[in-house]
Amino acid sequence: MLKCEDIRPQLSAYIDRETPLWEAQMIRWHLRRCHECAFEYMLLTDASEAMKSYLSVTTSDNFLDEVITKASIMVVYERQELNFLQRVIRRIEARFARLQYIFHVFRGKAAIYATALMTLVILGYFVSVMPKIFTPPLTGARQMFVKAEVNSSKDIIPVEFVTPERLRYIQGR
């Protein structure tokens, strides 16, 4: 199983498709499980796409020598140890990076899926409410209940008979 320390140096080659197929599959498997490496992969992919979109620039003949001398002057920073709060924040960023990666993969499709889902929810609501909205109102001339009393062995039981219109109204048809 590959570790993050083994994966991160190979991400650039993976993005440029310079890794062998078996190694690319191992890196892909690791990126699905490690949010921090997936975040780094997303950043490198964005940088690579941005660099590909720029036009080529002509440089002077001694440009490479100047870059090398400036790079040798630069101070090398050591990796600093993170305290507990910084590690927690880093993990939260990595989780949100996974969401950013999902939206990056779907690009504009996420808004379409969300709109379709909301349309289905609203349509379902209106279909469930329609019978109640379009039930014709009952006229005041007809009685909704017919009350009667049944005498059965000394007890009087009140009974309500429901008219067919009221029954349809109650059932929502």
What's the pLDDT tens digit per position in 27-86? 988 998 888 899 999 999 998 888 888 777 788 888 888 888 887 776 665 556 778 888
User: Distance between CA 86 and CA 55 in Å, rounded?
Assistant: 38
Q: Output phi, psi for 153, to 5 deg.
A: 45, 65
Q: Give the model's pLDDT for residue 48.
A: 87
Q: Is residue 139 over pLDDT 80?
A: no
As given in the structure block, the two tokens for residue 44 are 């490198």
Q: Which amino acid is at 166?
A: R
Burial readout 87-107 (b: 16 or more C-beta within 10 A, e: otherwise)? eeeeeeebeebbeebeeeeee
Q: Give the model's pLDDT for residue 157.
A: 60
- Percent of the chain surpassing pLDDT 70: 71
Q: Give the model's pLDDT for residue 41.
A: 92
As given in the structure block, the two tokens for residue 23 are 């190694």
Q: Whole-model pTM? A: 0.34
Worst-scoring range by mean pLDDT, 1-5, 29-33, 60-64, 90-94?
1-5
User: Distance between CA 13 and CA 79 in Å, rounded?
Assistant: 23
User: Distance between CA 46 and CA 104 in Å, rounded?
Assistant: 10
- Percent of the chain surpassing pLDDT 90: 5
Q: Residues 104-118: pLDDT tens digits? A: 666 667 677 778 888
Q: What is the mean pLDDT of the chain?
A: 76
Q: Give the model's pLDDT for residue 42.
A: 92
User: Distance between CA 38 and CA 46 in Å, rounded?
Assistant: 12
158 DSSP β-pair partners: 149
Q: Would you say 41 and 11 are in contact if contact means Cβ atoms under 8 Å apart? A: yes
